[in-house]
Amino acid sequence: MKIGVDYYPEYWDKSIWEKDAALMAECGVKIVRISGVAWSKLEPQNGQFEFWWFDEIIEAFSQYGMEMIFCIPTDAAPYWLLEAYPYITRTNKDGVLLPNGAYDRCCVNADEYRSYAVRLTEQIVRRYKDNRNIIAWQLDNNIDAYKCCCGYCKEKFRKWLMTRHETLGNINKVFGGNGEYSDINQIQLPVFCRSDWKNPAHEMEYMRFVTESTANFIRELAMAVKREAPNAKMTTNTDLSGNIPNVYKLFEFMDFVSINNYPPTKIDSNGNVDGTNAFYLDLARGIMHKNFCVMEQRSGALPMEESVKQGMIRGYSLQALAHGADMVVHFRWRTPLSGAGSMKQGLIDAANCSTRRLEEFRELCKTASKLAVIDTTTTVSEIAILYSPESETALNIFPPSENFSYIDQLKKFHAAFSRYGANVDVISTRSDLSNYKVVVAPSLFLHDSKSSESIFRFVLNGGTLVLTNRSGVRDEYNNYTMSVLPNEYRELIGADVREVDALGNESNVITDFAGNSFRCSQWCDILKPTTAKSYAEYRGRYYASTPAVTLNRYCGGVVYYVGTVCESSFYENFVGNIMMQTGIPRLKGLPEGVEVSIRTNGIDDFIFFFNNSGRSVSIPLPKTMHSLVDSNLKEIIGLQPFEFDIVRK
C-alpha cells in the first residue's frame, strides 16, 4: 500500500519545495500527485510553455525516490484562453456563462478548448515521458457531467441524435409527446423546459449525450498521451456523487480507477458516524473489477463541515485499503494561503506548523510500511449489488415519489450484508455474474437486453436474485411500454404489479413470514402472485394483506422481489436469511459501527477490522490470530474510535 499526498508547487515559493520534499520523505510518503491546477503556470501565454520550474520540483521529489502522478491540469484553463474564446465557458440553464474564478469552467464540447487541452497534454507528456519517477498520468481533474447549455452543446447534441437515430422520424418516434419536429434545428436542450413539461425520453437522451461527451473528452486526452508515450499508465478521478458521468464509460480507456474519498466526520451524541463511504469504495473496485486508487483522501476540514477527529486520517485510509485501494493520496499536503483552495484544510496549516493531523499521517505511513504482504491481495465476494447509472439517471429525472432515492436502496442492501462481515462487490449490470451466489439488482428502471440476459442466465444456473420496486418500468428510451410490470421480469419474479402507491414520506407496515414487522415508505408495489409465494405482506392502507415481498423458485434459482422501501432492520433480517439459505458465512454480534473486510492472495486471508464509530469496542476472535499492525497474537480485538487492526486468518 502506497501513501501519498497532493502537492501544488504553483502555490508556493520555490524555497519551500525542497523543505517539503525532505519532510515528506521523513514522514514516509511514497507518491506525490502534482500539477492539479497549473495550466496558467505551465503556459502563461498562448504557446509559451515554461517547464523549468516543474523540472525543479520533479527533481526535488526524485532525489528522495518518491514516485509521482502527473495531473494534466485541463480543468483550470488560463485567463488568456478564456479571453480569446469567451464562449468556451460552460453555460448554465439560463444561458449565463460561469463566472471567472471557478474550476471546471470550460465546456468539454467546445472545439477550441479541446484543441488547447490536447496541445497542453502533448507538450507535458513529451517533456516528461522518460522520467521513471512519473508512474502515471491523471487526465483532467474531478471530471463531472455538467449539464452545459452553450451553443457547442446544442449543435453537437443535435448531431449526436441524428447519428444515433439516423432520421428525424426516428427521433420523433422516440421522443413522442406533443407535436413533432420538422427540422433538427428545432430540437432544444431539455434544460430550458419547465420542470413539469419535461419529456423523459428527451431528458434521458440529453444525459446520455452529456456523459458520452465527458467520456470522449477523456478519451481524446488519452489518445494524446498514447501518441507521445504508448506504454504510459493513465487514469482520471471523480467524485462518485453529484454530476458523475456513467463511470463505466468514463474509465473504459483508463488503466486504473481513481476516486476522491471524503468520508463523513460528524459524530452524534451516541458515538455514531453519519454514514460510511464503504459502499462507494466497493463501487470503485467494481468499475474495472480490480483494485483502485484514492486520488484525494480527506485530510482536514472542508467548508461548513467539521474537522477530522482523532484517528480518522489513519482509519479512513486503511478503510480504503480494506476495500481494494492500493494507493491512498491525501488531499492535501499544505493549506493554501489564498484562493478557493484555502477553504480546504491540508495536513499542514497555513501557519506552517506541525499539526495533529500531520502526526497522525506519520503514523499511517509507518503502518503502511508494515503491510507489504497485503500488496498482492484482492477482495473476493460471493455477493454482488448491481449498479445501473442509466436507471439512476432516469429515476433522478422524475423521482417516483418524495425523497425516493435509487442509490439509497443500494446502500441499504450493502449496509445489511456488511453488518454480517460479508465482502460485497458493487458492479455493472452487464458484468459476468457466474462467480456469485447472491445478486441484488435494485430498481432496474430502464430496459437493457444485455443486463436482462445476464440476470436470467444467473438464475437459470442456480443463483439467488433479489429484484426490487421500480424494475422493468420503462424501455431504453425512458418511455412506458404496454406491458404489465415488472415487464420482462414478470416470469422471473412469479408475480404481477397490479397497482402502486407512491407513499413518499408517509409510511406503512409490512410483516414477514416469521411475524416480524417493519416500517416501509416511499413506494409500495401491490403484487398479485402467479407462481410466487408471499414472504411479507402489507398491514395497512387499502391493500392490507397483499404481498409486499415475494419468493419465487425459477428453474434452478430463487428470485425475491421487494416491492417497497423499508427501514434498515428489515434489510438486515432479510439478507441474513438469504445468507443462511445460500451458505454464505455470517459474523453475528458485531458492535455497531464495526466494519469487517477480507482480502486474500489465494493462500492467506487477511481480516480488516475498522471501528467506524466514536466508541471503544471489543471483538472476540474464534481463535488466536496474528496482528499485522502491532505484531501481537490476539484473542480479542480492542479498537478505539476509528482504530484499525488487520489479522491473518
Mean pLDDT, residues 538-560: 97
Q: Is the pLDDT of residue 344 over 90?
A: no
Is the preceding omega at residue 126 within 30 degrees of 0, hence cis?
A: no
Give the CA angle between residues 580, 586, 591 to the nearest 5°: 135
Q: Per-residue confidence at 104, pLDDT binned at 50, 70, 90?
A: low
Q: Do 253 and 222 form a contact (C-beta atoms < 8 A)?
A: yes
Single-letter residue type at 520: C
Question: Residue 339 class from Cβ within 10 Å (0-12 exposed, 13-18 middle, 19+ buried)?
Answer: exposed
pLDDT computed for residue 341 by the predictor? 76
User: Which three cell numbers mark 124?
Assistant: 507535458
Average pLDDT over residues 413-435: 97
CA-CA distance, 77 to 82, in Å (whole number)?
A: 7
pLDDT of residue 540: 94
Q: Show the cell assigned to 579.
A: 445468507
**CA–CA separation, 475 and 472 (whole Å):** 8
Is 90 exceeded by the pLDDT of residue 565?
yes
* Average pLDDT across the chain, whole number: 95
- Other Cβ atoms within 10 Å of 31 Cβ, number: 21
pLDDT of residue 303: 83
pLDDT of 323 strictly over 60: yes
Bridge partner list, 538: 510
This prediction's pTM: 0.96
Where does the pLDDT of residue 101 fall: very low under 50, low under 70, confident under 90, or very high at 90 and above?
low
Locate cell 491473518: which residue?
648
Q: Percent of the chain having pLDDT more than 70?
A: 99
Alpha-carbon distance of 579 to 382, in angstroms, equals: 10
- Tens of pLDDT, residues 177-206: 778 999 999 999 998 777 677 899 999 999
Span 464-493, pLDDT tens digits:
999 999 999 999 999 999 999 999 999 999
Beta bridge partners of 531: none
- Give the per-residue pLDDT at 102: 52
3-state secondary structure 383-446: EEEEECHHHHHHHHHCCCCCCCCHHHHHHHHHHHHHCCCCCCEEEECCCCCCCCCEEEECCCCE
pLDDT score for 203: 94
pLDDT of 280 strictly over 60: yes
On whether the CB atoms of residues 571 and 562 are closer than 8 A, the answer is no
**Model confidence pLDDT, tens digit, residues 245-274:** 899 999 999 999 999 999 999 999 999 998
Summarize the confidence of residues 515-530 as an average pLDDT: 98
| Consecutive H or E run containing 165 | helix 151-165
Question: Using CA atoms, how far apart are residues 349 and 335, in angstroms rounded to an integer?
Answer: 5
175 has pLDDT over 60: yes
* Residue 100 pLDDT class (50, 70, 90 cuts): low
Q: Mean pLDDT over residues 499-526, rounded? A: 97
Three-state DSSP class for residue 566: strand
Q: What is the pLDDT of residue 103?
A: 63
Q: Does the pLDDT value for residue 143 go beyond 70?
A: yes
Peptide bond connecting 336 to the previous residue in cis, omega within 30 degrees of 0: no
pLDDT in tens, 613-637: 999 999 999 999 999 999 999 999 9
**Does residue 463 have a pLDDT over 60?**
yes
619: nearest Cα among 585, 643, 600: 643
What pLDDT score was predicted for residue 241? 80
